[in-house]
Structure 1
Amino acid sequence: MSEGASIAFRPAEASDLPAIVALLARDPLGASREKPGLPLDRRYDDAFAAIQRDHNQLLAVVTDGDQVVGCLQISFIPGLSRLGLWRGQIESVRIAASHRGGGLGRRMIEWAVDQCRARGCGLVQLTSDKTRADALRFYAQLGFKASHEGLKLEL
């Protein structure tokens, strides 16, 4: 895929939800934890509404013309450590298979980092499942360092 002038980044709209959920479901991990069928599970609508109400959340899509071809979410996190440093947490990064391999992933992360910088963040962090070796290499190539161990507790 060659990246033309039709690629755009913007905040997600409610009408983008089916495409976002489909992107989240189209990978080995997401296939077992997402429900992309229509009508969408109400929990997606509820989550979208909560994200929209929270000024420290940005759910964004990447479009190619009128087609959603990528998504990501940024959480802007205030903190007391590091002299009150704000962090940007990037999550749920997905790109449609038809648009992989042409540099769009790099552009998406650079765009997200710019959003964090514009909001005054002094640090950008992200997590990626340990089984996603290609993703981990990709993020390392962009300058992200595996400086911490991430732990999760499912409730």
Structure 2
Amino acid sequence: MSDLEIRPAAPHDLPAIVAMLADDPLGARRESPDDLTPYTAALTRLTADPNQHLVVAVRDDRVVGTLQLTVIPGLSRRGSTRSIIEGVRIHADERGNGLGTRLIEWAVDESRRQGCQLVQLTSDATRTDAHRFYERLGFEASHVGFKLSI
């Protein structure tokens, strides 16, 4: 994996990122790879916020993975800072070769560098393979999550 680069996402990466977000049954229902306008606006907001880190994994000039890391200062846990990992996606051709582990390790290392005491993530209840993956990396299923679409 020494030929892998993890770097901040750039506007020219958006087609590959959105394609990966849409490449599963859940993403296929909620993503729109044919219209990048809302993704471009979102990338502009993310890039302007120093607590947001949207990164891509690149091999041979090809985007093969992505994730978003959000750093959140807080009062609970004695004023702890925490991070949230979201939108972890690996290109279908790259799954099973350790790339997901590399991305999560990057996110945990960056969280430490940012002074975080806790790393959190959520995973859709139907993604049981992902749950096993995160547990293998030391994450614990400790909470029940709730969402409200508005």
Whether the TM-score (by the shorter chain) exceeds 0.5 is yes
- Map 1:54-93; keep pairs closer than 5 Å: 54-93=49-88
Between the aligned partners of 1:131 and 1:55, the Cα distance in structure 2 is: 32
Write the mapping of 1:88-99 to structure 2, written as runs, cut at 5 A.
88-99=83-94
Could you tell me how far apart the structure 2 residues matched to 1:12 and 1:106 are?
19
Letter in 1 for 2:40: D
| 1:34 alignment counterpart | 31
Of 4, 18, 22, the match for 1:21: 18
How many residue pairs align between the two structures? 150
- Please give the residue correspondences for 1:84-123 in structure 2 after superposition, counting only pairs within 5 Å: 84-123=79-118
| Whole-angstrom distance in 1 between the partners of 2:64 and 2:142 | 30
Which residue of 6, 9, 18 maps to 2:6?
A: 9
SS of the aligned residue for 2:77 comes to: helix
5+ long unaligned stretches in structure 2: none
Alignment of 1:108-147 (within 5 A): 108-147=103-142
**Structure 2 CA distance, aligned partners of 1:143 and 1:7?**
23
Letter in structure 2 aligned against 1:11: P
Q: Which runs of 5+ in 1 are unaligned?
A: none
Amino acid at match of 1:81: S
Q: Alignment partner of 1:29: what SS?
A: helix
Give distance in 1, aligned partners of 2:97 and 2:39: 30
- 3-state secondary structure, aligned to 1:48: helix
**CA-atom RMSD, angstroms?**
0.8
Equivalents in 1 of 2:108, 2:17: separation in Å? 20
Runs of 4+ more than 4 Å apart: none
Counterpart amino acid of 1:77?
I
Residues 71-100 of structure 1: CA distance to partner in whole angstroms, max 9, x if unpaired?
000000010001110011000000001111
